[in-house]
């Protein structure tokens, strides 16, 4: 019952790898590893987010380089835990999203699963989103089914927010796993925060949100950013770098007109993330008493503080009690391991021929088995 989950998300920072033991009802993380992307690969992956010359070759070479890091992460994980390749049922490898256009009928995660199977000697499950998109769904978010399996309770209304490059919310009303679950992408998570921090400070992220905390929110810019059509759209909905990217932010800043201190822009972008999450939680997960935060954003203390304040304000305006923000670590799973564990879980579902999507979340015509399998 051992599976490996590999996740490299829209933050494009590196690979999280977990060894998951599904022998008991609650999955156990038997080991974890992280590999940061080399600058060259990160630049290549970010460049592929937008159209450019020689894309097919560049995408293929980037996929090979990505999978080589996947393979190194797997070997590192096995060495740390003492597990052998023959003891692993399968690897769930999400790949790196470079296009997400469900409205056009496709989503693209660059990957090379056969190369990973050859390098590790382990069966690989990949391409999780395509089947849901083929069934008329958004293909995202896919983690709500896993959130339901591990966080839903029969006597408590919870919600989960994964704050990666993009943030997504799972609404978990009281019930058995999967009952009444909904989920959707709220908009930017860390994506714009990391972009702005790297541009002005040369660092990949704002550690703890301290730089954002030093700035002042510009309400006029915040209103302009929140005026994007996506924020008013109703679930099911999903998004990515196709919409929220550097050119989108730069256009908003140009339209804003006034010159702002970089720290003030960072503070405003943090509020954008917090306010868009809070509005969706109060609007579409009303009644939740706990908001479990996972992903890289769970390490941003300033973001969590501002998120709680935004929830409290929106809750008062709506006449409801706002949920209490807590990290997934407090609910039993380390915040930086949740997504990788989710893709191990999705790989297990595929191997066992069980559906991995939730039509109420993605809008697909029905439950589907997700993933393509490269047998070792």
pLDDT, tens digit (0-9, with 9 covering 90-100), for 176-222: 888 899 999 999 999 999 999 999 999 999 999 999 999 999 999 99
Q: What residues have CB less than 8 Å from 269, skipping those under 6 apart?
A: 188, 192, 193, 196, 212, 225, 249
**179 secondary structure, DSSP code:** T
pLDDT at 96: 95
Strands (E), 45-181: 88-93, 96-101, 106-110, 124-126, 158-163, 166-172
Centroid of chain to Cα 29: 19
Cis peptide bond upstream of 236, omega within 30? yes
pLDDT at 234: 93
pLDDT at 11: 86
Contact 66, 2 (CB under 8 A): no
The stretches in the chain having pLDDT less than 50 are: none
**212-239: string of b/e by CB count within 10 Å (b at 16+)?**
bbebebbeebbebbbebebbeeebbbbb
Collapsing DSSP to helix, strand or coil, 368 comes out as coil
Q: Set out the domains of the chain in order of their start, with CATH numbers.
A: 2-140+337-374 (3.30.420.40), 144-331 (3.30.420.40)
Q: What residues have CB less than 8 Å from 70, skipping those under 6 apart?
A: 6, 15, 17, 91, 93, 116
**298 secondary structure, DSSP code:** G
pLDDT at 129: 96
d(CA 119, CA 72): 9
pLDDT at 178: 85
pLDDT at 25: 85
pTM assigned to the model: 0.93
Each residue's pLDDT tens digit, 121-174: 999 999 999 999 999 999 999 999 999 999 999 999 999 999 999 999 999 999
H runs (alpha helix) in 107-153: 113-120, 130-134, 144-151
- Paired with 241 in beta bridges are none
d(CA 55, CA 58): 5
pLDDT at 50: 87
d(CA 20, CA 9): 19
Query: The tokens of 27 are what?
Result: 């999955």
């Amino acid at each position: 019952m051992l599976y490996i989950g590999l996740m490299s998300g829209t933050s494009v920072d590196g690979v999280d790898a977990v060894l998951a033991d599904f022998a008991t009802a609650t999955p156990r993380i038997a080991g974890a590893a992280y590999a940061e992307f080399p600058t060259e690969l990160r630049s290549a992956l970010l460049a592929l987010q937008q159209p450019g010359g020689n894309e097919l070759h560049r995408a293929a070479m980037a996929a090979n380089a990505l999978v080589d890091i996947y393979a190194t992460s797997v070997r590192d994980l096995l060495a740390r835990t003492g597990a052998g390749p023959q003891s692993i049922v399968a690897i769930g490898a999400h790949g790196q999203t470079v296009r997400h256009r469900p409205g056009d009928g496709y989503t693209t995660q660059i990957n090379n699963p056969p190369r990973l199977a050859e390098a590790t000697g382990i069966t690989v499950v990949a391409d999780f989103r395509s089947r849901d998109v083929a069934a008329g769904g958004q293909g995202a978010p896919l983690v709500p089914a896993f959130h339901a399996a591990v966080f839903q309770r029969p006597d408590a209304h919870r919600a989960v927010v994964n704050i990666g490059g993009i943030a997504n919310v799972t609404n978990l009303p009281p019930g058995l796993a999967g009952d009444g679950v909904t989920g959707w992408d709220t908009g930017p998570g860390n994506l714009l925060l990391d972009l702005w921090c790297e541009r002005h400070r040369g660092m990949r992220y704002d550690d703890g949100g301290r730089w954002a905390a030093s700035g002042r929110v510009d309400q006029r810019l915040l209103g302009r950013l929140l005026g994007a059509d996506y924020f008013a759209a109703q679930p099911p909905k999903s998004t990515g770098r196709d919409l929220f990217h550097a050119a989108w932010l730069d256009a908003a800043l140009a339209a804003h007109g006034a010159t702002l201190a970089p720290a003030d822009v960072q503070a405003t972008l943090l509020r954008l993330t917090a306010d868009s999450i809070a509005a969706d939680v109060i609007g579409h997960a009303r009644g939740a008493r706990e908001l479990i935060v996972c992903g890289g954003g769970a390490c941003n203390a300033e973001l969590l503080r501002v998120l709680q304040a935004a929830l409290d304000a929106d809750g008062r305006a709506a006449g409801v009690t706002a949920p209490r923000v807590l990290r997934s670590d407090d609910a039993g799973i380390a915040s930086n391991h949740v997504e990788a564990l989710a893709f191990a879980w999705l790989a297990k579902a595929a191997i066992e021929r069980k559906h991995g999507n939730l039509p109420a979340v993605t809008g697909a015509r029905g439950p589907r088995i997700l993933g393509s399998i490269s047998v070792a």
